[in-house]
Amino acid sequence: MKKRKSGISQKFTIGMKKKLVVLFVLALLAFVGLGVRLILITKNNGEEYEKQVLSQQQYDSTTLPFRRGEILDANGTILAYSEKVYNVILDAKLLLRSDKYLEPTIRALVKEFGLDSGEIRQYLAEHPTSQYYILAKKLPYDEIKNFQDMITPGMEGYDANIQGVWFESSYIRKYPNGSLACDVIGFTSGDNNGMYGLEEYYNNTLSGTMGREYGYLDEDSNLERTTIPATDGDNIITTIDGNLQNIVERHLQEFNDTYANNFREGNGANNVGCIMMDVNTGEILAMASYPKFDLNDPRNKSALIGMPAVDEKGNKVKGESVFDSGVYITEEMLSDFTDEQLYQNYNALWKNFCISDTYEPGSVAKPFTVATGIESGSITGNEVYNCKGFLEVGGWEIKCHNTYGDGAVSVQRGIEISCNVAMMYIAQATGVSTFTKFQKDFGFGLKSNIDLAGEARTEGLTYKASDMTSTDLATNSFGQGFNIDMIEGITGFCALINGGYYYEPHVVKRIVSSSGATIKNVEPRVLRQVISQSTSDKIVEFCNTVVSGPNGTGKTARPAGYMIGGKTGTAQTLPRGNRQYVVSFMGYAPADDPEIAIYVVVDRPNTRYQDDAKFATRIVRAVLTEALPYLNYPMTEPLSEKEQAELEELREKMITSAVATTEEGEETTEEGTEETTEETQTEEETTEEETQQSSIWETFDVDQSTGYYIDPNTGDYIDPSSGHAFGGDDLPDFSGENTDSSIFESVENGGN
């Protein structure tokens, strides 16, 4: 039995060995065959496969850029758009696969793009395995078209020996109107993100979604591509009327041209701002400030020259004395700026003065004081107060604009001649609690929530009832001791004159897709009714006399052929007594049914004597003289011969400006502007002198050389247009309108 089992086991083992040998030989032959096949593939078809692999690498997960949405004005004019551009990319590894590709490719690059062949050869020698190198950046399609044809099979001019070059697409932002509406629009950074204005506020709306292109090899080793297209951003239609915007900016530029380097080196004022607004919807029709900048070149240093300088922390650089408005940037100073200081000064240039800077409003706040008194029932509007030139409040003698007193002053006349004392009496009757409540209702101390980036926070810049003293109440009544910004001021003012309805201001009225479909309509939004229709009507009646009344402080704001209403403002800055002022005019048209509001603020005009609201009223007059006919408002007032001549000259100037192409033509236009301004000033001053009220100082002797009255007791000169007194050494060199100067000279700390 044992021998039998042993024989069977031995026989089975030998058979297995034979089979294993056969299998091993077969496997070895198979591996040898595969090895030979791989060698043949590498030798005969390696270049083809390498090209396919490289092609797969080139297109694997390629990002496709989106087109940023357009910004258009209310008339459909494009204010901002994105243009597709291309980077020229060199793939050195692909190019150097064969010597036959080198020379044709370099010759084509030099011919089409003007590149340096030596630099290309040097790069190829130093980086033979590189697959991404930018040869040229941001070229428009017209500049790459010929080369694109050279590398595209089937196109005329195709050359199969041009290899290793491809185009990477992207978009750049373009602003076809340069600096027009720069504060409103904003601009984009290098990574296509919005900065300032609408570009920043609506960044998510304007931005689209990146696309992607994937590449892979199919079963036949052919390159297949799958593309997920980019989604373009949505377009925004603004409420800005480009024609009105152009009118406003042109007159702000004229103001600067007139007053730049006048009393000191620098711009015509620290800042000048203008807002035009639809009274009944909250739509912003125009918004501009000076200085401005080119949206296509926002970092051009020349735009900084003449501005007040700021330091590395963004704080204004102070002058040598309190009487200096600041230190103003010169071309020489720019080279000494650190990077941080240069950046901070750019920020000061780019921010929108109309929404970002705060100031004491001055006497434009007086209609709000009167409206508060009437609406709360604290006064009827028929009261008459006695102005002695000051009012003692809280132990302080708080002065009026006319230190000799205005005598009996009704509520209406208190607005017309801008009497501080009348406002203080009204505020006393109203009381702290009611006064501060209505300030908040009018939006003071609150953000307006306008759809622009950079709006200032004014919370804490107005008083709480618990913190307001009787002195604070008195100074607040005529616009001193609290701060607002321009958008707060005009939004609240619209509520004063439209029946009491406070609309949220907005700059965008519609959002549409890239295909033109409307995504969202921005409808007017009433947040609250602040005052009644009857109170609003009373305020319009009072404010009309500021322009139409015989002693109105805003007569110089009336455009030729139209009657408007409004209120002037002159606010002294801190520290008190520094002779630095913010002057303004807040008005509306038509006078009988307000529909368009306008607010102009001039921050520290470049002149020795700044407390003159005519710096603002003349801008208002110039803007509305063009804007109201453009808006198809019929004239309501007869034209004088001088006004007819002025309008004719304006028409001729506009025609000349449109066709002027030579420097001589431009100089002629500027001279005409200056002559018109001088003539208008003379007419305005004469008209004011002829209509002054009877006051005690009119019994004083007149200085024949200046036309000013002389106080026999003090020797002070008295402005005949207002009764404002100046020391003998402080005599202005022009006849100014100081009728609403909010000077609180007796209180060292003002209302703060």
Residue by residue, DSSP assigns 606-653 as: SSS----THHHHHHHHHHHHHHHHHTTPPP-SPPPHHHHHHHHHHHHH
- Whether 353 is covered by a domain: the verdict is no
Question: Over the chain, what is the mean pLDDT?
Answer: 85
Mean pLDDT of 648-660: 74
Q: How many helices (H) and strands (E) does the chain have?
A: 22, 28
pTM score, whole prediction: 0.82
Helix (H) / strand (E) element for 58: namely helix 2-59
- Whether 166 is covered by a domain: the verdict is yes
61 has pLDDT over 90 = no
Using 50, 70 and 90 to split pLDDT, how confident is the model at 367?
A: very high
Task: Please tell me the distance from the alpha carbon of residue 503 to that of residue 485, in angstroms, as a whole number.
Answer: 16
Tracing tokens 């003698």 back to the chain, one arrives at: 397
**Cα angle for residues 109, 111, 113 (degrees, 5° grid):** 60
Residue-level pLDDT at 651 = 81
What pLDDT, in 10s, does the model give residues 236-248? 999 999 999 999 9
- Considering only CA atoms, which of 645, 643, 567 is closest in space to residue 600? 567
Mean pLDDT of 621-625: 96
Using 50, 70 and 90 to split pLDDT, how confident is the model at 56?
A: very low
Mean pLDDT of 524-547: 98
Residue-level pLDDT at 41 = 63
Instruction: Tell me the CB-side half-sphere exposure of residue 679, using CA atoms within 13 A.
Output: 11
Examine residue 634 and say whether the peptide bond preceding it is cis (omega within 30 degrees of 0). Answer: no
Question: In Å, how far from its chain's centre is CA 374?
Answer: 37
Task: Please tell me the distance from the alpha carbon of residue 110 to that of residue 120, in angstroms, as a whole number.
Answer: 9
- DSSP helix, strand, coil percent of the chain (3-state; round to 5): 40, 20, 40
Residue-level pLDDT at 34 = 80
- Residues 6 or more apart whose Cβ sits within 8 Å of residue 711: 697, 700, 717, 718, 725
Using 50, 70 and 90 to split pLDDT, how confident is the model at 694?
A: very low
4 has pLDDT over 90 = no
Using 50, 70 and 90 to split pLDDT, how confident is the model at 304?
A: very high
Contact at 8 Å (CB) between 210 and 69? no
Task: Please tell me the distance from the alpha carbon of residue 604 to that of residue 606, in angstroms, as a whole number.
Answer: 6
Residue-level pLDDT at 26 = 79
What pLDDT, in 10s, does the model give residues 408-459? 999 999 999 999 999 999 999 999 999 999 999 999 999 999 999 999 999 9
CB-neighbour burial class of residue 579 (10 A; exposed 0-12, middle 13-18, buried 19+)? middle
Residue-level pLDDT at 20 = 76
**Cα angle for residues 148, 154, 160 (degrees, 5° grid):** 65
340 has pLDDT over 80 = yes
Task: Please tell me the distance from the alpha carbon of residue 391 to that of residue 736, in angstroms, as a whole number.
Answer: 24
Residue-level pLDDT at 653 = 78
Three-state SS string over 342-403 comes to HHHHHHHHHCCHHHHCCECCHHHHHHHHHHHHHHCCCCCCCCEEEECCEEEECCEEEECCCC
Residue-level pLDDT at 70 = 98
> How many structural domains does the chain have?
1
43 has pLDDT over 70 = no
Using 50, 70 and 90 to split pLDDT, how confident is the model at 214?
A: confident
Residue-level pLDDT at 387 = 96
44 has pLDDT over 80 = no
Using 50, 70 and 90 to split pLDDT, how confident is the model at 703?
A: low
Determine the 3-state secondary structure of 329 from DSSP: coil
Residue-level pLDDT at 719 = 59
Task: Please tell me the distance from the alpha carbon of residue 213 to that of residue 224, in angstroms, as a whole number.
Answer: 10
Contact at 8 Å (CB) between 377 and 430? no
Residue-level pLDDT at 691 = 36
What are the Cα distances from residue 542, in Å, to 331, 539, 653? 48, 5, 36
Whichever domain contains 119, its CATH number is 3.90.1310.10
Mean pLDDT of 333-358: 95
Which has the minimum average pLDDT: 7-11, 24-28, 302-306, 677-681?
A: 677-681
- Whether 96 is covered by a domain: the verdict is yes
Mean pLDDT of 8-15: 57
596 has pLDDT over 60 = yes
- Residues 6 or more apart whose Cβ sits within 8 Å of residue 305: 329, 330, 331, 334
Mean pLDDT of 152-159: 90
**Cα angle for residues 153, 156, 161 (degrees, 5° grid):** 50
Residue-level pLDDT at 650 = 82
Instruction: Tell me the CB-side half-sphere exposure of residue 408, using CA atoms within 13 A.
Output: 3
Contact at 8 Å (CB) between 364 and 439? no
Percent of the chain topping pLDDT 90 = 69
717 has pLDDT over 90 = no
DSSP letter string over 435-493? HHHHHHHTTTTS----SSBTPPP-TTSS--TTT--HHHHHHHHTT-S--B-HHHHHHHH
Contact at 8 Å (CB) between 714 and 726? no
Number of CB atoms found within 10 A of residue 219's CB = 5
Using 50, 70 and 90 to split pLDDT, how confident is the model at 221?
A: low
Mean pLDDT of 635-639: 92
690 has pLDDT over 50 = no
DSSP letter string over 88-140? EEE-HHHHTT-HHHHHHHHHHHHHHH---HHHHHHHHHH-TT---EEEEEEE-
- Whether 686 is covered by a domain: the verdict is no
What are the Cα distances from residue 208, in Å, to 71, 185, 193? 14, 18, 11
Mean pLDDT of 163-188: 96
- Whether 164 is covered by a domain: the verdict is yes
Residue-level pLDDT at 14 = 73
Residue-level pLDDT at 11 = 52
Mean pLDDT of 126-135: 93
- Residue bearing the bigger pLDDT, 339 or 686: 339
Query: Domain range spanning residue 103?
Result: 62-186+211-238
- Residue bearing the bigger pLDDT, 225 or 264: 264
Using 50, 70 and 90 to split pLDDT, how confident is the model at 706?
A: low
- Residue bearing the bigger pLDDT, 172 or 215: 172
738 has pLDDT over 90 = no
- Whether 721 is covered by a domain: the verdict is no
What pLDDT, in 10s, does the model give residues 392-402? 999 999 999 88
Backbone angles phi, psi at 371, to 5 degrees: -60, -40
Contact at 8 Å (CB) between 535 and 500? yes
- Whether 597 is covered by a domain: the verdict is no
Which has the minimum average pLDDT: 51-55, 362-366, 742-746?
A: 742-746
- Residue bearing the bigger pLDDT, 701 or 214: 214
- Whether 171 is covered by a domain: the verdict is yes
665 has pLDDT over 50 = no
Task: Please tell me the distance from the alpha carbon of residue 170 to that of residue 64, in angstroms, as a whole number.
Answer: 8
Using 50, 70 and 90 to split pLDDT, how confident is the model at 491?
A: very high
